[in-house]
Amino acid sequence: MRSRIVGAVLSALLFPIAVVWAQSTFEVASVKPSTTGNSGWSIDYTADSLRATNATLLALIQSAYGIIWSDRLVGGPNWVRTTRFDVNAKAGQALPRERLRLMAQRLLEDRFGVALTREQREQEVYALRLARTDGRTGPDLRGADGCDPETGGRSATDPTRTRPQSSTGATPTYYGWCTTISGIATGLTRHLGVEVVDQTALPGRWDFVLAFTAPGAVPAVEPLQTNLPSVFAAVEEQLGLKLERNARGSVEYVIIAAARAPTED
């Protein structure tokens, strides 16, 4: 329990912190053991709520903290991977998705006693680096304007947020707005199934378009385009970057340092 601080001046100074604290939690939250007996599960965020059905604590942590690979989330008691829960939480107002995820993190801390630590491990990765010695980027990687200062992105109603056109004239396979280069690397990781680490040192936010073909590319390009370059060629030709195999890089692992079974509502 926090110690009580007495004094009008200190109370006035601390009041804004209390407001932020209140806004960081869901107004109503229910956590119950799941009784479905099924293996299927879901975790959904709507405008003002989080709903999870038959989800393990591991899946809840992975969703709330945006952890791409489950094998990078390690530690904790065995039950976090097997015991299923239903979670229903409401914020009381529409909020950005990232704010809801922060509130979900707080919910997991409060109800499950989740405590995480992070550890960097050296391993083999794909390095994303500048392809040109003069530091110039390609035609489909441009510095972004009009990014939301709170979320870092553009709202879904922004008229400039339409599917961009590739300089190649092909339908884009992967594109985004107001994205950091690290964010692009994360997306390439999802496409390739191999860790991609940003080693460009390019700051700021970027709009980008990539048109490529690669095993497991998501989403699939429709209609099917068979004349697209490989992801390696596309990254270099279209973004002015390059993917280098067999590089060494630091990869973050998240360790579940503590977790407890919640009391049923």
* CA dihedral over 205, 209, 214, 219, signed as positive or negative: positive
Which pLDDT score, from 0 to 100, does residue 226 have?
56
The secondary element (H helix, E strand) that includes residue 239 is none
**8 Å CB contact between 235 and 130:** no
Which pLDDT score, from 0 to 100, does residue 215 have?
53
Smallest Cα–Cα separation from 234: which of 128, 145, 163? Answer: 128
Give dist(CA 262, CA 265) in Å, integer: 9
Which pLDDT score, from 0 to 100, does residue 149 have?
66
Which pLDDT score, from 0 to 100, does residue 11 have?
30
pTM comes to 0.59
Share of the chain above pLDDT 90, in %: 46
Give dist(CA 25, CA 102) in Å, integer: 9
pLDDT tens sequence across 19-42: 333 457 899 999 999 988 788 999
Whole-number average pLDDT of the chain: 81
pLDDT tens sequence across 59-114: 999 999 988 778 889 999 999 999 999 999 999 888 888 889 999 999 999 999 99
